[in-house]
């Protein structure tokens, strides 16, 4: 009982896509500390995924790395099968992988650039849910946590491809919340504002500083800040939350 109190996710199998770096890596480490068995997905950076696993194991946690390009259905099916063989069916899916996109005004962007951003985001969620939901149905319980971006609702110029892709993802998540609720599966969205990771490192330092100063909390957002919200949504404490969208912004969603 004591064990369960300190490690409330003991016995849960959690698959995080794009967990070799950034928000996914921070969430993997946090969830493993809470007792979950972690399936650490990566695409190319096996070294970084193994470093996350190493940290988890040194802290007494359990995990395994799984390579798959989550935009490819066959690779995702094989990965989810391998997770089942190693642990059991997935209890919690965190749809987190980040896909670079064409940065351009929408009236000038290439059609391929615009379409590709949405294709990647929605194929990743499509592939991962199609592969994971049957196991959740068998267990009569499951959780899906979808990582969106504040840019879907609070646009910035030249980021339209990403904003449109994340808005589509949010619409899918909301629909799935209704469809999967009767099957015992919750679907929630986490919406981070600008967070310091590899993905955001292309932005100049003065931009980062301006963002920090304009936030009511006057702090940078780090991957660990988002990981705490993901951990809450993955836990039994969030059993009655579905169709929610949790803003992790330091208050910046009140700025215009
Ligand atoms: N950073 C921000 O400011 C910010 C703000 C709002 C929302 N978000 C969202 O937060 C999530 C995580 O972003 P991040 O900033 O933490 O990203 P990141 O640090 O750049 O890490 C990207 C992760 O995605 C993985 N990945 C990329 N393509 C993949 C593919 N085809 N299949 C499987 N994995 C793939 C990478 O794997 P490899 O290491 O193998 O390449 C890596 O683990 C994303 O959904 C992003 O849109 C980020």
pLDDT tens-digit profile of 28-74? 999 999 999 999 999 999 999 999 999 999 999 999 999 999 999 99
**Domain around 38:** 2-249
| pLDDT over 70 (residue 1) | no
Residue nearest to atom 22 of ligand 1 (CA): 98
- Is 115 contained in some domain? yes
Q: Tens digits of per-residue pLDDT, 185-227?
A: 999 999 999 999 999 998 999 999 999 999 999 999 999 999 9
- Is 121 contained in some domain? yes
Q: Cα(249)–Cα(153) distance, rounded to whole angstroms?
A: 12
Query: What percentage of the chain carries pLDDT values higher than 90?
Result: 96
Cβ-contact 95, 123 below 8 angstroms: no
Q: Cα(95)–Cα(208) distance, rounded to whole angstroms?
A: 25
| pLDDT over 70 (residue 107) | yes
- Predicted pLDDT of residue 6: 82
* H or E element that contains 192: strand 185-192
- Is 254 contained in some domain? no
Q: Cα(28)–Cα(62) distance, rounded to whole angstroms?
A: 10
> What average pLDDT score do residues 169-173 get?
98
CATH number of the domain that residue 208 is part of:
3.40.50.720
| DSSP, res 36 | P
- Is 256 contained in some domain? no
Query: What percentage of the chain carries pLDDT values higher than 70?
Result: 98
Q: How confident is the model at residue 255 (pLDDT cuts 50, 70, 90)?
A: confident
Q: Which of 148, 199, 247 to mutate to test the pocket of ligand 1 (most atoms within 8 A of CB)?
A: 199
As annotated, the active-site residues are 162
More confident residue, 97 or 256: 97
Q: How confident is the model at residue 3 (pLDDT cuts 50, 70, 90)?
A: low
Backbone angles phi, psi at 93, to 5 degrees: -110, 125
- Is 30 contained in some domain? yes
Q: 83-92, 128-137, 195-204: which range is least confident on average?
A: 195-204
Give every CB contact of residue 63 below 8 A, 6+ residues apart in sequence.
28, 32, 37, 38, 39, 40, 52, 53, 56, 57
| DSSP, res 182 | G
Centre of ligand 1 from the C-alpha of residue 199, in Å:
7
Centre of ligand 1 from the C-alpha of residue 2, in Å:
35
Q: C-alpha angle 40/192/38, rounded to 5°?
A: 15
Residue nearest to atom 6 of ligand 1 (CA): 149
- Is 125 contained in some domain? yes
Q: Please tell me the total count of domains within the chain.
A: 1
- Ligand 1 neighbours, Cβ below 6 Å, are 17-24, 41-45, 48, 69-71, 96-99, 147, 149, 192, 194-195, 197-200, 223
- Is 14 contained in some domain? yes
Q: Cα(3)–Cα(5) distance, rounded to whole angstroms?
A: 5
| pLDDT over 80 (residue 102) | yes
Q: Tens digits of per-residue pLDDT, 88-98?
A: 999 999 999 99
Residue nearest to atom 8 of ligand 1 (CA): 149
- Is 74 contained in some domain? yes
């Amino acid at each position: 009982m004591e064990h369960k109190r300190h490690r409330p996710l003991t016995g849960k199998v959690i698959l995080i896509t794009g967990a070799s770096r950034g928000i996914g890596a921070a969430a993997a480490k946090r969830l493993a500390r809470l007792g979950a068995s972690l399936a650490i997905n990566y695409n190319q950076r096996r070294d970084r995924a193994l470093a996350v696993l190493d940290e988890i194991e040194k802290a007494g946690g359990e995990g395994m790395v799984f390579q798959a390009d989550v935009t490819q259905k066959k690779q995702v099916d094989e990965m989810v099968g391998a997770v089942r063989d190693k642990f059991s069916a997935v209890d919690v899916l965190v749809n987190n992988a980040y896909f670079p996109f064409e940065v351009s005004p929408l009236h000038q962007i290439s059609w391929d650039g615009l379409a590709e951003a949405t294709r990647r985001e929605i194929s990743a969620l499509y592939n991962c849910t199609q592969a994971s939901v049957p196991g959740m149905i068998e267990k009569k319980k499951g959780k899906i946590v979808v990582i969106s971006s504040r840019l879907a609702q609070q646009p910035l110029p030249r980021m339209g491809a990403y904003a449109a892709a994340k808005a589509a993802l949010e619409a899918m998540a909301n629909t799935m919340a209704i469809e999967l609720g009767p099957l015992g599966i919750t679907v929630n969205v986490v919406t981070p504002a600008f967070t310091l990771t590899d993905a955001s490192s292309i932005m100049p330092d003065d931009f980062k500083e301006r963002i920090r100063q304009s936030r009511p909390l006057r702090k940078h957002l780090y991957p660990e800040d988002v990981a705490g919200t993901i951990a809450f949504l993955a836990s039994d404490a969030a059993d009655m939350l579905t169709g929610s969208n949790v803003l992790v912004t330091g208050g910046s969603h009140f700025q215009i």
